[in-house]
Structure 1
Amino acid sequence: MPQITLYFLQASRSIRIAWLLEELGLNYEVKFANRDNQKAPQWLKDEAGGLGKFPAMRDGDVMLYESGDSKRYAVLQWVHAAEATFMLHGLAVLYCRWFQVGGDVAKSEEKISVNPEKDLDYLEAELGKSNGKFLVGDTVTAADTMMEFSVDFMFARELGTKGKHWKKVEAYLKHCQATESWKKAQKKTGHQL
């Protein structure tokens, strides 16, 4: 069996995966880190890669980020990241605009925008690795149907994107929206941002 490494950040959801590995009776190594100023230390993010979120796990040559054959896993990873990471970070910016009482909203938004920017940087890099126009190849998967809206919403509302461009992400959105299935869904529903 390949060596399993769990990248474990204290006070995070990482305990779920450690517990599951124990329940399954699997041997694994732990790369453990305490939080540093409420954040994951940079060395742990560098070792685990991905979005810098935890838990993360290496199973042989496969890295698992979002808490499963590799295309199926890649699709599931993006399905979960669309809501649990990209939309979550984007909505934090939006809610800051809508609900912050007092203080400097622009300064708060600037600080909160770090996460959406990192998410889009990651997506840009991953799209560069794809062997097609979409997240996991040259055909649309559930990963794309989930991620397209999250990213389009972030761009449309300028949630952490003000004045910045991600060429591969922007091309990806155009590829998604150029599919016949997206155009049919948009026409049938009247969807607009």
Structure 2
Amino acid sequence: MITVHHLENSRSLRIVWMLEELGLEYRIKHYKRDSKTMLAPAELREIHPLGKSPVITDGDTVIAESGAIIEYLANRYGAPDWVIPADDPRWQQERYWLHYAEGSLTPLLVMKLIFSHIPRSPMPFFVKPVAKGISGKVIDGFLDPQLQTHLEIIEQHLASHTWFAGDTPGSADIMMSFPLQAASARANTDKLPSIKRFLAQVESRPAWQRAVEAAGPLTPLT
């Protein structure tokens, strides 16, 4: 049986969603974040040396990284419905958005989270104004404009596509769900109606609702 090593408020919720979409049997091992650092507990290193989530075990096979897990599940358990042939026009779109999620969008969100936390971190009082000023310039001058550009590109794509690579949800949608949910927690999605519609589609699916019930709701870190 597949075991999902699930860290609260993390990318691993989308792995549970995919398992539910595929109708696979699985169990969840829950891990709590450190209340001060918000990092994963040391026990996760017993499963994978990086000590990060998501990780799944399938028998003796251990797989880390969201994209690798999703491709493994799709190819081993999801074919043919979840595997787009390479000669299908949708294949390129799915590959792009599948890797874009962690390769382009999520790093910007992580950087914004880190720079937003810097002014609130413990430091000598005389350093705090400098740290706040530098963080503000990085966020206002680089991260927010970059995120706006990315969200506009995603909005344009979803304006003409029901899902990222077709008329039914696929691997790209599983991957894109987390960064868009995280982004929507910090942005006004009223100006991004197609992204808002996509997220409503995700959250209305019975498989998503079962995943939330099994793993717990996603509350993006702030």
Tell me: CA distance 1:75–1:189, structure 2 relative to 1, closer, same or farther (3 Å): same
Larger CA deviation: 102-111 vs 88-97 = 102-111
1:189 and 2:215 are equivalent in the alignment:
yes
Query: Structure 1: how far apart are the matches of 2:132 and 2:202?
Result: 40
Deviations for 1:101-132, whole angstroms, at most 9, x for unmatched residues?
242543432222111111110001001221xx
Query: Structure 1: how far apart are the matches of 2:189 and 2:154?
Result: 18
User: Which of 152, 160, 163 matches 1:121?
Assistant: 152
Query: Structure 2: how far apart are the matches of 1:180 and 1:140?
Result: 13
Q: Which amino acid aligns with 1:172?
A: F
| Superposed displacement of residue 165, structure 1 | 2.4
Query: Structure 1: how far apart are the matches of 2:148 and 2:190?
Result: 9
1:135 and 2:154 are equivalent in the alignment:
no
Query: Structure 2: how far apart are the matches of 1:191 and 1:73?
Result: 31
Query: Structure 2: how far apart are the matches of 1:113 and 1:162?
Result: 13
1:179 and 2:205 are equivalent in the alignment:
yes
Query: Structure 2: how far apart are the matches of 1:84 and 1:171?
Result: 23
Identical columns (%): 20
Query: Structure 2: how far apart are the matches of 1:85 and 1:154?
Result: 13
In the alignment, which residue of structure 2 is the partner of 1:88?
A: 107
User: Which of 181, 186, 189 matches 1:152?
Assistant: 181
Deviations for 1:44-86, whole angstroms, at most 9, x for unmatched residues?
xxxxxxxxxxxxxxxxxxxxxxxx7321221111111111111
In the alignment, which residue of structure 2 is the partner of 1:79?
A: 98
| Superposed displacement of residue 192, structure 1 | 1.9
In the alignment, which residue of structure 1 is the partner of 2:117?
A: 98
Q: Which runs of 4+ in 1 moved over 4 A?
A: none
What is the Cα-based RMSD across aligned positions, in Å?
2.0
Query: Structure 1: how far apart are the matches of 2:217 and 2:188?
Result: 23
Work out the number of aligned pairs and report it: 121
Q: What is the correspondence of 1:18-97 to structure 2 with a 5 Å cutoff?
A: 69=87, 70-97=89-116
Query: Structure 2: how far apart are the matches of 1:183 and 1:138?
Result: 20
1:109 and 2:128 are equivalent in the alignment:
no
Q: Which amino acid aligns with 1:171?
A: R
| Superposed displacement of residue 164, structure 1 | 6.8
Q: Which amino acid aligns with 1:125?
A: Q
Higher relative CO (CA 8 A, sep ≥ 6), structure 1 or 2? Answer: 2
Q: Indicate conservation of the 8 Å contact 2:158/2:194, yes or no.
A: yes
Q: Which amino acid aligns with 2:148?
A: E
Unaligned runs of at least 5 residues, structure 1: 1-67
Unaligned runs of at least 5 residues, structure 2: 1-85, 120-130
Q: Indicate conservation of the 8 Å contact 1:134/1:176, yes or no.
A: no
Q: Secondary structure at the match of 2:184?
A: helix
Query: Structure 1: how far apart are the matches of 2:190 and 2:102?
Result: 22
